[in-house]
């Protein structure tokens, strides 16, 4: 799946304020669970935090791609987050993160999960893509920018 397959206007979290990685993941987990009643915020948060314990999902250049597989998840879900203020995310390059893409997939979707992560990393690896997202001034403009510039 590509980023454009995963997001909808309602899966953009614009201007989220979080003082820490843990707090941002917690707030995002509640937002995801609020839109998907079959998922529990605690299970999402636990999955994301457990994955972070294996190693940071901060891929560099101010971007993180937190992800996890969930047993009660029926389909891949993506959430794009633009933080008001960058936070420390233990990223590979040591830079603070202001763009996050949270991916949750069904527990059995191993290959799909890896292919989707590769596609996300490719998009976020392009400076023009990141710069375009950072230039946005609203959730709707962020959604439109992804639709227009993602591969």
**Catalytic sites, residue numbers:** 67
Q: What angle do CA 139, 150, 19 make, to 5 degrees?
A: 45
Dihedral angle, C-alpha 134, 52, 112, 150, nearest 10 °: 10
Q: Which residues contact 46 (CB under 8 A, 6 or more apart)?
A: none
Which of 124, 126, 120 is CA-nearest to residue 103?
120
Residue 61 CA to residue 70 CA, distance in Å, equals 28
Neighbour-count burial of 98, counting CB atoms closer than 10 A to its CB (0-12 exposed, 13-18 middle, 19+ buried)? buried
């Amino acid at each position: 799946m590509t980023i454009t397959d995963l997001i909808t206007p309602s899966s953009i979290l614009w201007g989220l304020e979080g003082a820490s990685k843990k707090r941002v993941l917690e707030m995002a987990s509640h937002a995801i669970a609020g839109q998907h009643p079959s998922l529990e915020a605690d299970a999402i948060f636990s999955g994301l935090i457990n994955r972070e314990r294996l190693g940071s999902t901060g891929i560099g250049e101010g971007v993180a791609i937190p992800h996890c597989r969930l047993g009660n998840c029926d389909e891949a879900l993506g959430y794009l987050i633009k933080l008001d203020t960058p936070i420390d995310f233990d990223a590979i390059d040591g830079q603070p993160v202001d763009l996050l893409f949270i991916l949750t997939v069904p527990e059995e979707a191993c290959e799909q999960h890896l292919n989707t992560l590769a596609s996300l990393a490719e998009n976020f690896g392009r400076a023009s893509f990141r710069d375009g997202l950072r230039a946005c001034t609203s959730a709707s403009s962020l959604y439109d920018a992804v639709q227009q510039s993602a591969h």
